[in-house]
Amino acid sequence: MQTIPIFFSASDSYVPVMSVMIRSIMENAGTGRKYEIVVLHRDITAGSMEKLRAMAAGFPDFSVDFHEMVFDNDKFFVSRHITAEAYFRLFIPFRFQQYGKALYFDGDMVCRTDISRLFDTDISNYLIGGVRDIGVAWYFLPKKRRNVIDSKTYEYMLSMEKPDEYINSGMLLINCEKFRKTYSEKEIVDTIFSREWQVHDQDVINFLANEKILHLGYEWDFMPVSHRAKYLPQELKAGYFEAAKNPKIIHYKPYSCWWHVPHFQHFWKYAARTPFFEEIVGAMDKKGLLNEDVTDKVESIMRGFGLSDLYKLALGRTFGRIPGFGWLSRIFSPGSR
């Protein structure tokens, strides 16, 4: 029976959010495969590990393991909400040589389809399969709408011969075998320390895999930021808005702070079925992100899933709509992109 390796990278504080993505993958997975979930980390506690393994126990085709990442020098350049854990995905081909191909996901996502469909994509002639980052839209913004901060952030993308091919690193289909034939782990480390990559691991991946990337449809890493997508070239824009109708994987960027994020109800659907649900809800309430003004919306969503009572119990009072997903970065310390 074929095994599909699925990697995550997180700190202990990010585990509650990551558990939602893991749960969604498990519930939508097809039969006839084995799925090995591996979480790369430095500080995940035994308690968090036990909860994740207990959740996986209800899915006989799945296993969850944890791999502590150790480096001679782990002083990777970090800024904004990014931590060193973001770089761990770069070492998957070298630390796990038993795999010829692997999937990597950020924790702030939800999967709505059988993940084996993505894994079966042929990338034999590529290093990486990925989806264009929504930051590509910034490249096409009218110059008067650009700002100095974003110009610095996207400096590597802007230096590329084809900036519109720049991908997001939150979902990666990795050709591990080809990566090992192309680079050594030392070359990966040297590249990381060669400069202060402003989008961190994402810049490094685009640099290493340049012209060896299979660009997948937006539905496989859909970021709900349509206010930017409208500036994409027509072909890319059409692909984005088509994916918006029924995304397969939703990527709730942790730095977003809109009051209405499309598809955010799917997060709650799976969050309520994780062992971390009360932690997620309690942390939101403690931070003051829930109040009487936002009661009806989320309550209605949870009622539709038959989870209204559980939802109320977790908080201990009635509450509702959350302010987008900006709470991801305000509640839990960052530990994954």
The CATH classification of domain 3-251, taken from the options 3.40.50.920, 3.30.1060.10, 1.20.1250.20, 3.90.550.10: 3.90.550.10
Q: What's the pLDDT tens digit per position in 286-307?
A: 666 555 555 455 666 666 666 5
pLDDT at 299: 60
Domain boundary assignment for the chain: 3-251, 265-321
Per-residue b or e along 3-37, where b marks 16 or more CB atoms closer than 10 Å to that residue's CB? ebbbbbbbbbbbbbbbbbbbbbbbebbeeebebbb
Question: Alpha-carbon distance 298 to 269, whole Å?
Answer: 11
Question: Alpha-carbon distance 297 to 155, whole Å?
Answer: 40
List the structure tokens of 252.
């709730």
Q: What's the pLDDT tens digit per position in 52-100?
A: 999 999 999 999 999 999 987 777 755 676 777 888 999 999 999 999 9
Question: Alpha-carbon distance 322 to 256, whole Å?
Answer: 12
Question: Alpha-carbon distance 102 to 99, whole Å?
Answer: 7
pTM: predicted TM-score of the whole model, two decimal places: 0.86
Q: What's the pLDDT tens digit per position in 4-48?
A: 999 999 999 899 989 999 999 999 999 999 999 999 999 999 999
pLDDT at 309: 57
**Average of pLDDT values for 174-203?**
92
Asked whether residue 314 carries a pLDDT value surpassing 60, the answer given is no
At 261, the pLDDT band (50, 70, 90 cuts) reads low
